[in-house]
Structure 1
Amino acid sequence: MTFLRTAVAAAALVLAGCQMSEDNSAAPAENQQEAQIAPILTTPEAKDTASYARPLEARVHHIALDLNVDFEAKRIGGTATLDIDRKPDAKEIVLDDKGLEIESIADGAGQPLQWKVGAADPKLGSPLAVTLGPDTKRLVIKYKSAPDAGALQWLTPEQTAGKKKPYLFSQGQAIENRTWIPTQDSPGIRQTWEATIHVPAGLTAVMSAPKAAEPITQGGESVFSYRMDHSVAPYMIAIGVGDLAFKSLGPRTGVWTEPVMLDRAAKELEDTEKMVEAAEKLYGPYRWGRYDLLVLPPAFPYGGMENPTLTFLTPTFIAGDKSLVSLVAHELAHSWSGNLVTNATWADSWLNEGVTSYFENRIMEALYGPRRARQEAALSFDEIEKAFAEEGRNAPITRLNLPPAQAVPDGGTSGIIYDKGAVFLRTMEKIVGREKWDAYLRSYFDRHAFQPMTSALFLADMRANLVNGDKALEQKLQLDDWVYKPGLPSNVVRPDPAAFAEVDQAVKAFASGGPVPAAFGSWTTAEKMRFLNKLPRKMPTARLEELNRRLKLNEVGNYEVMFSWLDLAIRNRFDPAVPALERFLTTQGRRRFVRPLIETLAEDRQWGRPIAVRIYRVARASYHPITQRDLDKLNLTN
């Protein structure tokens, strides 16, 4: 039997939301609702080692939350009602729990069920094992999140833009939702869900699902209801609560944010509806109804989070000239790659991020032209080379399918997961032709909509639906080399050397003692970043002073350009940049900016570490728990 036939056969062995026989084959569904339950992959590489769940014995397929948001106690609490599917002889169901305070667990009839929280792992949390009765199909869990729940960030009014009301937001990816929702927290166990959220009157709660009812305010609280009828990976359940206002961007798009930020955010996002239309022309219909965005306070740890129907965004993308809206294109593209078809385990996170990064670039090309797309693709390729320089070109971590040591939540490196993944798809496009490639990728999303995916099954799908037995094409594509080997295969499509020809010449001239480029002010954001990133990492102070004086880099309002400048400045102990560095690190908490700058400072024991200690002691409270966890390892507060 060929590999293709083996993988395809294995893919067919799924739990299709119905009763399972002893040999794990699927029996007919009892009703239409069960027939719509998302499958569980049974191939060996689809086993999620970051979850305690045993979904082939018993799995969650629907969650109903009824929760109170308590800003004073910094807790979310109430009930989670889980609808489960199980084998007839299953004795228990195992959920993921990290710090939840469980009060009781009962079945759907209110009869108490026995439960036990197992030993805790500092990263994964604990297994929550619930004993099942012969006919148990529903669990009702009364619980509270802990005040230090890793998914939740609680902001005081002073930490918001409006300075009047408190704010809460969640960040569930990769495995943080187990800190506030008791469920099987694995991307391969897709679940539908609904929620009723009680918040103090005067605040608005938004979630990553369509609105199920109009909000009600009475007795000092407001109640909001949401329902997601498509099955999603549990990390995609998200909440935001605060002083929020909404502005429409188009027939099915809009932006939520604090009132004082609304006009600026809406102006930057005015092309969102066009982005959705461009994405649909490429790879098929947008299947989620609305596409809204929530622009969060600066403490949000990521650039964006692709929560279905409600992308969460950092305000650092607001540059005033739409030069950073590729971030929006990226999160929108996740509505296909990541949300529609999702990596089953974190070993294959490139299936989410690499495919999305390629798709993002295609959206940018459609809206803003080939030149901008080529430049952004070239910057992306720079990130691959940076990863190779840091990790070693032949290091196992430079594989797309991550080896066991790196196949953990948030494992790997972005230069590989995002950028090598995008170049893989760009290379496939070049070899087979854009028309044929686009037809294949669109059909891929159609075939696997609302299902989990692995690298092995993705390659099997390519061989079945793109290669079609063409041995010469198979040899040209080098599929296994791309996914399972480190480095870059020989067929890699490299960036257009003309994309930054002028900039690269300016870098060479300045590095050789030439003048500051006079054209810098008229360059695109990508060109400015390329120039700063390509300069030698060690430069004389006088040259940095000349750069700063002529280009006013300490005053730049574009966060990406400022990050590139500060990285260069601190590697050269450039004291005049320290005030700008302090402002940058204390007014936003985007992990991609904060972590490398503070880590670089901390490595410099004499000059940089005292600065890092001073800044982190001030800024730590404003950073998300995920960011704090990364930086606390540096022992800067001792």
Structure 2
Amino acid sequence: MESIINPPRDPNTLSNYNNWVSTHVTANLDILFDQQKLVGNVIHKFKSITNGESQDIILDTNHLDIGEIKVNGKQSEWELLPRLEPYGTGLKIKLDSPVALNETVEVDISVKTTEKCTALQWLTPAQTSNKKHPYMFSQCQAIHARSIFPCQDTPDVKSTFDFNITSPLPVISSGLHVGKSASAARPGHYLYQFHQKVPIPSYLFALASGDIVEAKIGPRSVVATSPDKLEECKWELEADTEKFINAIEKIVYPYAWGEYNVLVLPPSFPYGGMENPIFTFATPSIISKDRENVDVIAHELSHSWSGNLVTNASWEHFWLNEGWTTYLERRILAAIHGEPYRHFSAIIGWKALVDSVEHYGHDHEFTKLVVDLKGKDPDDAFSSIPYEKGFNFLFHLENLVGKDKFDKFIPHYFTTFKGKSLDSYEFKTTVLDFFSSDAEASKLLNDFDWEKWFYSPGLPPKPDFDTSLVDVVYELAGKWRTFSESGFIPKESDIKGLMANQIVVFLEQVLLFEKPLTPDQSQLMGQVYGFAKSENVEVSNLYLQVGLKAGDRSVIEPTTDLLGRIGRMKFVRPLYRGLQKLDRPIAIETFEKYKDFYHPICRAMVEKDLFGKKNA
């Protein structure tokens, strides 16, 4: 573990992972839907990476009910250290004697989750699409695995995993399925077994259980979802999944995880997707019935290399996960749709970057590429900035040295750090080393202002994007901007032949107008262009934001309706912000009505948006 340094470089863990590293975890857990708990034991194999200096192992926990702990089969003394917000409680396990360098110990911990667990969402049958069975799923990124089991909850440590999960309903995890058998101890329940042979950090520990069925969407891929949604999910994903895999394998190197599958979750899932290995967990908002929102799959697939194989050492360097993934996602799109589409996607991303910088403020710590998270909750820093500022950094480097040269660096980088975690300084060193034999590129990179890119808040320099796919919608937006003076009459044919993502750019341009539309103009746009009835939530949510900004009270009801049907933060947070500006009492009433529908992470972020920010 040459990447581990002393003291630990991750400020968001309480574990002493500079003394010990978990090399393998076996999770034996029962899913108890009636109690909304996971119950069982977790066995860690720890390796000492100091020469007998420490007799204690300290792990991260958060609101866990811990039973007995055994070390090498013998009962051990343990204690919970004083709670430290926002990181939870350190669990200190005492060893009888020092352990020599590279020697291992086995630690067996009995554990139950509690109602304060932030990583699990338990859904009643009424909260699922077919309303027949309960459902449970996990979301451990960034620091929520510690609320499921005691662990070294840092991306700087990677372990192999065995999952032995008992449930009355089908189970999916972030491992390859290796067996299913009837449970002797629990009639009507089955033991589902999975193995993850590629070492992963704790935040990629993933479980889901519910009324789940599967269908093939490619030679190495299935989609899993509720039976009533299976056919539409299969149709949405079967055309592109294998194409995406083939495209990125040519850019980096072959897929390392065996299968690439997609679990389409119930609508309260807070993200577009979560890159859990083997099974991407995805929002149902990608099911738009036009195959226009599957870019999310290109993104989550790209994480199989950036994030899952090559990982940021701490959340302060989150751009190494998300900036690289956004870059690779757009390279996939370029390989399939052509280079102008990559630029088109980057233009959409630039708007998201501008919005995030405006939200925090141009001088805010969280608008930097490398952020300071000491004492802070990484969730508070979550925004499009690491994605889009990270992408623009890599795109800038690509343009600086030339695309052909940068293309050779990509597989070198992912080979150098395969199975490891790194920080931004190691990334910089790797770039400089790789290009050191190329005099021209080496001079450009040594003269490059790395410090400014890493540490300057606010927006980076805007690249010169190819606008060929956006010019048509910029022109249409211009007509709406001068609507009152020009006598422009909108027609359905204005948007004929446009992709959904082009309509997204058009609506984003309208949201940027210094003088918002009038309520009448907003209603006219929705009626003539059909935005008010769109089944593509990427389009409908932006149209609702336009209406809220215009003061069009006719969009309040469809806004509150959408807020009760989707829990993806990308849509939920801006809609609440817009609704609050138009009618704060309705925004608060809507949140109170639906807050139990939202995932705990989403609920906490909306509470900060509505009732005051701890992260400002």
TM-score (norm 2): 0.92
Deviation of 1:368 after TM superposition, in Å, equals 2.5
1:303-360, Cα deviation, whole Å (9 max, x unpaired): 1000011100000011112111110000000000000100011100000001100100
Report the residue type matching 1:351 in the other structure. L
| Equivalent of residue 31 in structure 2, options 54, 60, 69 | 69
Deviation of 1:407 after TM superposition, in Å, equals 6.7
Q: Tell me the equivalent position of 1:8.
A: none
1:186-229, Cα deviation, whole Å (9 max, x unpaired): 000111111100112xx101101111324435622111001111
Distance change in 2, residues 1:242/1:393 (3 Å): same
Q: Tell me the equivalent position of 1:47.
A: 9
Q: How far apart in 2 are the matches of 1:376 and 1:440?
A: 23
Distance change in 2, residues 1:630/1:412 (3 Å): closer
1:258-296, Cα deviation, whole Å (9 max, x unpaired): 111111111111111111111101111111111111000
User: Are the equivalent residues in 1 in contact too, given 2:4–2:18 (CA < 8 A)?
Assistant: no
Deviation of 1:502 after TM superposition, in Å, equals 1.2
Report the residue type matching 1:464 in the other structure. D
Q: Tell me the equivalent position of 1:235.
A: 203
Deviation of 1:378 after TM superposition, in Å, equals 0.9
Distance change in 2, residues 1:608/1:467 (3 Å): farther
Q: How far apart in 1 are the matches of 2:269 and 2:230?
A: 17
1:500-522, Cα deviation, whole Å (9 max, x unpaired): 11111111111101232632243
Q: Tell me the equivalent position of 2:401.
A: 432
2:490 is the alignment partner of 1:516 = yes
> Quick check: 516-525 or 268-277, which moved more?
516-525
Q: Tell me the equivalent position of 1:495.
A: 465
> Quick check: 126-135 or 307-316, which moved more?
126-135
Deviation of 1:121 after TM superposition, in Å, equals 2.9
Q: How far apart in 1 are the matches of 2:544 and 2:380?
A: 26
Q: Tell me the equivalent position of 1:316.
A: 285
Percent of residue pairs identical: 30
2:60 is the alignment partner of 1:96 = yes
Q: How far apart in 2 are the matches of 1:402 and 1:287?
A: 30
Q: How many residues align?
A: 592
| Equivalent of residue 599 in structure 1, options 569, 572, 577 | 577
Q: How far apart in 2 are the matches of 1:419 and 1:82?
A: 37
1:13-42, Cα deviation, whole Å (9 max, x unpaired): xxx3xxxxxxxxxxxxxxxxxxxxxx5421
Deviation of 1:432 after TM superposition, in Å, equals 1.7
* Counterpart secondary structure, 1:300: coil
2:91 is the alignment partner of 1:120 = no
Report the residue type matching 1:516 in the other structure. P
Q: How far apart in 2 are the matches of 1:572 and 1:151?
A: 37
* Counterpart secondary structure, 2:391: helix
* Counterpart secondary structure, 2:83: coil
Deviation of 1:472 after TM superposition, in Å, equals 2.6
User: Are the equivalent residues in 1 in contact too, given 2:12–2:376 (CA < 8 A)?
Assistant: no
Q: Tell me the equivalent position of 1:484.
A: 455
Q: Tell me the equivalent position of 1:300.
A: 269
Q: How far apart in 2 are the matches of 1:565 and 1:41?
A: 48
Report the residue type matching 1:428 in the other structure. L
Deviation of 1:108 after TM superposition, in Å, equals 2.2
2:535 is the alignment partner of 1:560 = no
| Equivalent of residue 125 in structure 2, options 154, 157, 161 | 157
1:38-60, Cα deviation, whole Å (9 max, x unpaired): x542176x611110011121222
Q: Tell me the equivalent position of 2:561.
A: 583
Q: Tell me the equivalent position of 1:569.
A: 547
1:579-613, Cα deviation, whole Å (9 max, x unpaired): 211221001111111122113323x3xx4212112
User: Are the equivalent residues in 1 in contact too, given 2:72–2:107 (CA < 8 A)?
Assistant: yes
User: Are the equivalent residues in 2 in contact too, given 1:521–1:551 (CA < 8 A)?
Assistant: no
User: Are the equivalent residues in 2 in contact too, given 1:238–1:307 (CA < 8 A)?
Assistant: yes
2:589 is the alignment partner of 1:614 = yes
List structure 1 segments (4+ residues) > 6 angstroms apart after TM superposition: none
Distance change in 2, residues 1:122/1:532 (3 Å): same
Deviation of 1:413 after TM superposition, in Å, equals 5.2
Deviation of 1:361 after TM superposition, in Å, equals 0.4
| Equivalent of residue 501 in structure 2, options 526, 531, 547 | 526
1:179-578 alignment, distance < 5 Å = 179-200=147-168, 203-216=169-182, 219-270=187-238, 271-404=240-373, 408-412=377-381, 414-468=383-437, 470=439, 471-475=442-446, 477-487=448-458, 493-513=463-483, 514-516=488-490, 518-535=493-510, 536=513, 538-578=516-556
* Counterpart secondary structure, 2:157: coil
Q: How far apart in 1 are the matches of 2:601 and 2:560?
A: 21
Deviation of 1:489 after TM superposition, in Å, equals 5.5
1:380-399, Cα deviation, whole Å (9 max, x unpaired): 11222233433444544322
1:217-250, Cα deviation, whole Å (9 max, x unpaired): 5622111001111111110010010111111112
Distance change in 2, residues 1:217/1:43 (3 Å): closer
Q: How far apart in 1 are the matches of 2:253 and 2:553?
A: 52
Q: How far apart in 1 are the matches of 2:22 and 2:472?
A: 56
Q: How far apart in 1 are the matches of 2:374 and 2:366?
A: 9
Report the residue type matching 1:265 in the other structure. C
Distance change in 2, residues 1:489/1:539 (3 Å): closer
Distance change in 2, residues 1:395/1:587 (3 Å): closer
TM-score (norm 1): 0.89
Which structure 2 segments of 5+ residues have no match? 612-616
Deviation of 1:562 after TM superposition, in Å, equals 1.1
User: Are the equivalent residues in 1 in contact too, given 2:6–2:18 (CA < 8 A)?
Assistant: no
Please report the RMSD computed on the Cα atoms of aligned residues, expressed in angstroms: 2.0
User: Are the equivalent residues in 2 in contact too, given 1:58–1:92 (CA < 8 A)?
Assistant: no
> Quick check: 495-504 or 165-174, which moved more?
495-504
Q: How far apart in 1 are the matches of 2:466 and 2:610?
A: 43
1:81-134, Cα deviation, whole Å (9 max, x unpaired): 11111232321010000001011111122x111111112234211101110122
1:505-562, Cα deviation, whole Å (9 max, x unpaired): 1111111012326322431112111111111262212211211221232211111111
Distance change in 2, residues 1:377/1:335 (3 Å): same
User: Are the equivalent residues in 2 in contact too, given 1:573–1:608 (CA < 8 A)?
Assistant: no
